[in-house]
Amino acid sequence: MTALLSYIKILRPHQWLKNLLLLFPPFFAGKMVDPSVRSAVIPALLSFSLAASCGYIINDIKDRMADRNHVIKKQRVIAKGELTVVFAAVIAAVLYVAALLISSNYVSRRFEWFLLMYLFVSLTYTFFLKDIVLVDIFFISFGFLLRVLAGGEAFRTTVTSWLFLTVFMISLLLAAGKRLGELVSLGDAAHSHRRSLTHYSQSFLEGILWFSASASLVTYALYTLEQANGIFHTVPIAAFGLLRYIYIVKQGQGDPTEALLKDGQITAVGIVWVFVIGAIIYIR
């Protein structure tokens, strides 16, 4: 049972929540009821989740020594020594091969290219760019963007310019929030945990936070106007969600997935936002 829990933990299944971004293009396009879309939902989400877990495992292998000095990350399976590096690497390889097989057989061959691009971005970030100021934030953002573009390919749906820009600005917000959360929560130990935090100041990250939040709200409003179906009325809901995220980031809770899962207000506003958009698009 302990070994099974270790295998599950190393996958970081709670982070799979990010992969719901794949559903954004068909959801907003009103295609979620199409049989071809419904049949591709599970294979697309599963293959991307397995590819993402491969990236998480490689990151944990690379950062295992630094994680042992982190107040939370020291509980990660590889950092604790519950799994060997070699065995973890084998698991990562198996997961990625499985992701490619599922993609080629049940989604599309072109979807495989997005899995390859995601792994390239993930590995490049892990081994070369995570300690470079600003570049690290942008590469985290690229990971979110790739999910939306991959969803467009998986479900044969065009990702419009305004949707692309909205997701990019929100991704920038989440990436900056993650860094600011680390800076606040780790305090004086932040610089020893991540080298890029040595060069970030709290005021600079807050500036990115407010800039990206403002821009994402504007681009989202313009995207909803482009749709001309009434979802413009969800802009106040989105504004509340953005402000709530900024509030909890300044308390040292910047991880996007943790925020969505553990902050009751963000969870509630997310559910309401999806329900209202779904009602407008699919019930009218």
List b or e across 171-180, with b for residues whose CB sees 16 or more CB atoms inside 10 angstroms: bbbbbbbbbb
Start-to-end CA span in the chain (Å):
49
- Domain end marker among 113, 132, 159: 159
Q: What is the pLDDT of residue 144?
A: 95
Q: What is the pLDDT of residue 115?
A: 96
Candidates 234, 227, 217, 220; CA nearest to 279 is 234
The span from the CA of 179 to the CA of 101, in Å, is 35
Instruction: Name residues of the chain where pLDDT drops below 50.
Output: none
CB 65 within 8 A of CB 133: no
Q: What is the pLDDT of residue 280?
A: 93
Residue 3 lies in a domain: no
Residues 281 and 212 in one domain: yes
Residue 72 lies in a domain: yes
- Domain end marker among 135, 159, 183: 159
User: Which residues span the domain enclosing 181?
Assistant: 160-284
Q: What is the pLDDT of residue 32?
A: 94
- Burial degree of 99 (CB within 10 A; 0-12, 13-18, 19+): buried
The span from the CA of 143 to the CA of 141, in Å, is 5
Residues 14 and 67 in one domain: yes
Q: What is the pLDDT of residue 82?
A: 83
CB 268 within 8 A of CB 237: no
CB 267 within 8 A of CB 261: yes
pTM: 0.93
Q: What is the pLDDT of residue 75?
A: 80
Residue 136 lies in a domain: yes
The span from the CA of 127 to the CA of 274, in Å, is 36
What amino acid occupies position 27?
F
